[in-house]
Chain A
Amino acid sequence: MRIVVVEDLYLLRDGLVRLLEAYGHKVVASAGDGPTALRLLAEHRPDVAVVDVRLPPTFSDEGLQVALEARRGQPGLPVLILSQHIEQLYARELLAAGGGGVGYLLKDRVFDADQFIEAVERVARGGTSLDPAVVAKIMNAGSASPLDALTARERDVIALMAEGLSNQAIARRLFLSEGAISKHTTAIFAKLGIEADADGNRRVRAVLTFLGAAGRT
């Protein structure tokens, strides 16, 4: 897979490149600031971009802006945002800017290399990968109207779905059969009013609904 890494700290950028290459991916370019990153993303059109949220010169949410900007230029460009902090607000902005192929993870997740690489690959395939911390916050947040219809078990399932897990992985995590999970997902789609479409991208739309439910501001 061809990957662009955007991270301003040299040590971390170097570590990320090493890790990705250790798993057999090709890092085609790396950048340390927003404008360079935008140029490189347009030039290389990678399979996935791994972007740090805070970038020079302002060290605010430039990484997020870069991701949103790049996705405006190349719709569907898979972007995985890494951050030292997790904010629901950012996760929602990221997902609201169009469909799948996005991830938002705490930098800590890099420590578990297998899971991190899996997340990168999932995002590259057009899936979502939300940090469990974001998902937990959304589950704890106040009234969430469309989700009220779901049973406790279905809420567990959609939370794991938002993290980006496949039915098989969810089944493993919840100690249920895969058949049971697919029954739950069908029920969730029905309750959230998500119909089958040509893209088959119902999981992403369910996750968007899930996030939208928490969005009341």
Chain B
Amino acid sequence: MDRPPGGPLLAVARPFAQGAVRSSVLLVLTAFVPGIWVAAAFFFLRLTGSAFGTFWCVFGVAVPCLVVFPRPVCGAVRSLVLRWTGTAIPDSYRPLVPVTRMATRYWWNGYDYQRFRWVSLFHRWILSRVYDPAAWRDMLWLLAAPFTAGAAAAAPLALTAAGAAAVVRRWSPPPPVPDWAGTPVAVAVALLGVLLLPVGWRVAVPSARRLLGPSAPARFAARIAALVQGRADLTHAQEAELRRIERDLHDGAQARLVSIGLSLSAAERLLDDDQTEVRELLRQTRENSLAALRELRELARGIVPPVLAERGLVDAIRALALDAPLRTEVRSTLEHRLETPIESGLYFATAELVTNAVKHSHGSAIDITIDRTRQGVAVTVADDGRGGARAGAGSGLAGLRTRLNAFDGVLRIDSPPGGPTRITVEVPCASS
């Protein structure tokens, strides 16, 4: 194609060229499987023309095609849609059960038992394509695609080609005199095809979203799985928290109170005989009661920090900022108090992020912003440190993510190596 130089012209031509390429790619993808069927039908019925041919057509080509091709072809369409339009279409295939050897020495693949591992793997491969509802939706798309996305992608190409071919035929040698009559129609048809180029391939997007994305039951199933996981996480977190409190009370304050009681009874006994000893015992008792008080205070603060209970999230985070050993700014657009569990969840998440920033970022300043968002409330902790924060297995951030699950909250980490780090915690809540 001879493109004239120059920016604006290039910009005008680009969607058309893009449309042509994308339409062709889609056409190939959607016509691929029907193409095989047509070829098979032609070969077996026209060339051999027998019942045997029909059998091969159906069971030798059509059925295997429906098992083999849907997943790669649909995967290609999903990734193309993502690349072309930025619309992510998640697949919803059931996760594969790992092939494991049972005590009977047979292999279990989630569907059936097999004597040999490779048979088990092969069965799993076939059955996962037959028993999975998402696989059936893929097949459905494969059957429907030639008539929707394929046809829409083919139309502009076909019109352009037909129009161009008509013009060429009218002007090419056999009739020596140019044929003026049909030319405008042919040119118009070609032009229409070219104009449709940027549009045709877009039909693939809604059709893919409709059939290739998760179905409503699959979405609900995923949602329920997430909720079950969240509830399990919450139960675990609560259990661990209760255990911690019990342990701290038992080893700390309770032990101190026992020792206070012991010293007091000793002092009572010594009161008449040894005044100096009594004095010493009383001094120790006072120290012990102070220590018990301190431990109880720490424990209470760990359950819910006093400022949080008294003033709410924003002031609690301000107080946190005052105590941080780095320069810390707090900005907030939050006007009302939130539900207490949400305040508490956000507070402890923020406290952890600030602690992380202080410990690991090697930065000099922290910025905390608290904002209402469309989904709920978001707290962002940003530092000017060296970045590279990740939520790897066993890390504090992974733990934080698990705890946020219980609130249906999300953790977004933006921390390129070299910094800066921005970590956002967002928790949904009804706007009050």
Q: How far is the CA of A157 from the CA of B2 in the complex (A)?
A: 83
- Contact with B327, one of A60, A111, A137, A143 (Cβ below 8 angstroms): A143
| Contact (Cβ within 8 A) A141 B310 | no
| Contact (Cβ within 8 A) B326 A85 | no
- Contact with A61, one of B310, B324, B329, B330 (Cβ below 8 angstroms): B310
Tell me, yes or no, whether A182 is within 8 Å of chain B by CB.
no
Q: How far is the CA of A216 from the CA of B300 in the complex (A)?
A: 27
| Contact (Cβ within 8 A) B297 A137 | no
- Contact with B289, one of A111, A142, A143 (Cβ below 8 angstroms): A111
Interface string of A130-166 (1 = CB under 8 A from B): 0000000100111100000000000000000000000
Q: How far is the CA of A35 from the CA of B318 in the complex (A)?
A: 28
Tell me, yes or no, whether B315 is within 8 Å of chain A by CB.
yes
| Contact (Cβ within 8 A) B290 A108 | yes
| Contact (Cβ within 8 A) A141 B311 | no
Tell me, yes or no, whether B417 is within 8 Å of chain A by CB.
no
| Contact (Cβ within 8 A) B329 A108 | no
| Contact (Cβ within 8 A) A214 B322 | yes
- Contact with B301, one of A85, A111, A216 (Cβ below 8 angstroms): A85
| Contact (Cβ within 8 A) A216 B328 | yes
Contacts A60-B311, A61-B311 hold; do A87 and B306 have CB atoms under 8 A apart?
Answer: yes
Interface string of B272-286 (1 = CB under 8 A from A): 000000000000001
Contacts of B324 in A (CB 8 A): 141-142
Tell me, yes or no, whether A215 is within 8 Å of chain B by CB.
yes
* A89, closest chain B residue (CB): B319
Contacts of B330 in A (CB 8 A): 217
Tell me, yes or no, whether A74 is within 8 Å of chain B by CB.
no
Contacts of B297 in A (CB 8 A): 84-85
Tell me, yes or no, whether B94 is within 8 Å of chain A by CB.
no
Contacts A142-B327, A217-B321, A217-B330 hold; do A108 and B293 have CB atoms under 8 A apart?
Answer: yes
Interface size of B in residues (CB-CB distance below 8 Å): 27
Q: How far is the CA of A61 from the CA of B315 in the complex (A)?
A: 12
Q: How far is the CA of A111 from the CA of B310 in the complex (A)?
A: 26
| Contact (Cβ within 8 A) B325 A142 | yes
Tell me, yes or no, whether B251 is within 8 Å of chain A by CB.
no
Q: Which of A62-97 contact B (CB under 8 A)?
A: 84-85, 87-90
Interface string of B153-189 (1 = CB under 8 A from A): 0000000000000000000000000000000000000
**CB < 8 Å A-B pair total:** 63
* B322, closest chain A residue (CB): A88
Interface of B is mostly: helix
Q: Which of B293-327 contact A (CB under 8 A)?
A: 293-294, 297, 300-301, 306-307, 309-311, 315, 318-319, 321-327
Contacts of B323 in A (CB 8 A): 88, 137, 140-141
| Contact (Cβ within 8 A) A140 B328 | no
Contacts of B311 in A (CB 8 A): 60-61, 89
Q: How far is the CA of A111 from the CA of B290 in the complex (A)?
A: 8
Q: How far is the CA of A141 from the CA of B294 in the complex (A)?
A: 21
Interface string of B34-51 (1 = CB under 8 A from A): 000000000000000000
- Contact with B325, one of A140, A215, A216 (Cβ below 8 angstroms): A140
Contacts of B306 in A (CB 8 A): 84-85, 87
Q: How far is the CA of A107 from the CA of B294 in the complex (A)?
A: 10
* B291, closest chain A residue (CB): A108
Q: How far is the CA of A61 from the CA of B311 in the complex (A)?
A: 8
Q: Which of A102-129 contact B (CB under 8 A)?
A: 107-108, 111
Q: How far is the CA of A140 from the CA of B309 in the complex (A)?
A: 24
Q: How far is the CA of A108 from the CA of B324 in the complex (A)?
A: 24
**20 A-B residue pairs with CB within 8 Å:** A54-B310, A84-B300, A85-B300, A85-B301, A87-B307, A87-B319, A89-B311, A89-B315, A89-B318, A90-B307, A137-B323, A141-B325, A142-B325, A142-B327, A142-B328, A143-B364, A214-B322, A216-B329, A217-B318, A217-B321
Binding site for B on A (CB under 8 A): 54, 60-61, 84-85, 87-90, 107-108, 111, 137, 140-143, 214-217
Binding site for A on B (CB under 8 A): 286, 289-290, 293-294, 297, 300-301, 306-307, 309-311, 315, 318-319, 321-330, 364
